[in-house]
Structure formats: structure tokens, C-alpha cells
Structure 1
Amino acid sequence: LTLFMSVTGGIEWTSVFAPLLAIHTLYGSLFVVFVTIMILVTLNTITGIFVAEAVEMATVDQDILVQAHREENRQYLSNLRDLFNEMDPNQTGQITLNTFQEQFERDEVKLSFRVLGLEVSDTERFFKILDVDHSQQIQIEEFVMGCLRLKGNSTVDIEFLMQEAKQMIKRMLHEQNALRAQVAELGREVSCFQ
């Protein structure tokens, strides 16, 4: 009971330490070591409890952040769909380049694009980037997915350059195949003369 009281502060150390030291130095030393170890164990336990609580709170905070990010993405997608429907006055589910340009002249549409983080400086270029299937019309899926890809300032220009590069590669491959066919034809004609 005396040891418990000395560790928890119920009794002064000196009132226990002095009689033990008078009996033998070893007893006094053992008492000090015991009290020190018990205090360290108690502090370690308390620290462990606080750390466990802090880790649990951080996990909860991370879950809350993930949930908030998901909700933000859902809201962003909903805003994109609403913007598409606003730009599709006939509710056909498709927007042509002319309709896109006409609708983009409206201030509220320009503002909606800016609020959504989409900087559109060239409507025709932007439309071509969104028109993945090159049908001269964009559907809601193309619009939403394209806008997600293009969110930010410089991504529109980068995406346009990438599309231009892909088209140039396709044209070059087509020209290369045509040139091969012509060379093969010339080879056949030359072999006929020999």
C-alpha cells in the first residue's frame, strides 16, 4: 500500500525513502528505481492512449475528406450536366458547333465555365477537343468526360496539341502507305520493261 501511495502521490517520497535508506542503501535505491519505473510506465500508458485517440481522429478526418471529395466530384458532374442541358435549348441531347458558339456568347454560360474551372479562349478548338468521335456534335457523355479532362488552365491547349499531333500522325501514315503503294507500282512497271 505504501508503494502504491508513493507512486500515485498519496504519500511523500521522503517519508518512505528516509527510513528505507536508514535500514540499508540498497533498499532506498530499489525504492527510487521502483517509483521511477512505475511513473514511466504510467506516462507511457497515458501517452499511448492519447496517440491512439489522435490516430483514430486522423483516420476519421481522412474518411471525412474522402467523403467530401466524392461529394464535390458528384456536385461537379451534376453542374456539368446542368450546363450541358442549359446549352442544349431543344433538349436533343446533342450540341452542334454553331449551337455551342451561340450559347457561349451568353454571359451566364461563360461564367458557368469559369466557375467550373474551364478556361475557354477558342470555342471552336474547345468543341473539337470535346468531339471525340468527330461527329460534329457532342453528346452529354462527351461533354462531361471532356470537361473533366480539360479542367484547369493549360490543359485545353495541351489536349488540342495532342489531338493535332495524333491527326498529323494518321495523315503521315496514310501518306506513307500511299507512297509505298506508288513505289510498289513503279517497281512492277520497271520490271515489266526489263
Structure 2
Amino acid sequence: ALFAVVNVVTGVFVESAIRTSGKDRDTVIREELSSKSRYLHSLHQVFEEMDGDETGSITIDEFERHLDDPRVVAYFNTLQLDVSDARTLFLLLDLDGSGSVDIDEFLDGCQRLKGESRSLDIAVMRYELKWMRH
């Protein structure tokens, strides 16, 4: 099992190195900033669609209702967000525990949760688990 984890982590680093090889630093920075801007814009549009009552926040009911639409699920998948467990995802987005998610919580949470786990994510999780035990 440990060997498999090491292979996955190594694969992530190799893929990242291949992508950035041959590009100068400024180009890589511009591309990353542009990509992040497009990503945030897309998330903002998704949030506005979910916030049908235009309160500036979405409830778990609004969130789950939109995730019943296969098009919305597919769109979240293109944004590298796994929405298979909607209730857990909502709880992770609801940072203040208010029962609703505002635009800032939504954008910050989706950015944190996008993609696959990286070695830093695993290290943070280990640290927090260790801290909780003591």
C-alpha cells in the first residue's frame, strides 16, 4: 500500500515537471493566473445559478437540488470537484457552520477541494490528526 502511495505522489510530481518543462517562468505564471481567474469566474457563475432566491448564500437544499441535475454534476467534474457526497461537500464548504454557504466560502472551499489529494494535503491531515490526539 505504501508503495502505491509513493508511486501516485511520484506520478503527480513527474506530470507537473513535464508540463512546465520548456516554458519560461513568466509564461508559467501568466498561464497559472489566467487559469485561476477562469476557474473562479466559472465557480462564481455556478454559485449564482444555485442561489436562485438571490440571497447571496445557498442552503443545503439549494445545493442538493442543483446536484440532482446531471449537467451540474458534469460541470463540477470539469472543475475537478467531486460532488458524489453532496452533504459532506456542503459541510466542508460551510466554514462558519451557519447552515448556508456564501460566495466567499464557496470560492475558497472549491479551490481547496479541487483535484486530487497532494502530498501537502496528506501532510496537513497527518499533522492535524496528530494534534487532535494530544
Q: Same fold (TM over 0.5)?
A: yes
Separation of aligned partners in 2, 1:64 and 1:154: 26
Among 36, 42, 60, which residue is 1:79 paired with? 42
Among 39, 48, 53, which residue is 1:90 paired with? 53
The one-character-per-residue Cα deviations of 1:24-68 (angstroms, maximum 9, x if unpaired) are: xxxxxxxxxxxxxxxxxxxxxxxxxxxxxxxxxx78x32122111
Partner of 2:70: 107
How far does residue 104 in structure 1 lie from its aligned partner after superposition? 0.7
Query: How much identity, in percent, do the aligned residues show?
Result: 36
- TM-score between both structures, scaled by the size of structure 2: 0.69
Preserved CA contact (<8 Å) 1:119 1:153: no
Point out 4+ residue stretches in structure 1 off by more than 4 angstroms: none
| 3-state SS in 1 of match to 2:58 | strand
Partner of 1:118: 81
Which structure has the highest helix share of the two?
Answer: 1
How far does residue 113 in structure 1 lie from its aligned partner after superposition? 0.5
| 3-state SS in 1 of match to 2:54 | coil
The structure showing larger relative contact order (alpha-carbon pairs under 8 Å, at least 6 residues apart) is 2
- Number of paired residues? 105
Larger Rg: 1
- TM-score between both structures, scaled by the size of structure 1: 0.48
Separation of aligned partners in 1, 2:27 and 2:97: 41
Q: Which runs of 5+ in 2 are unaligned?
A: 1-21
| 3-state SS in 1 of match to 2:45 | helix
Partner of 1:65: 28
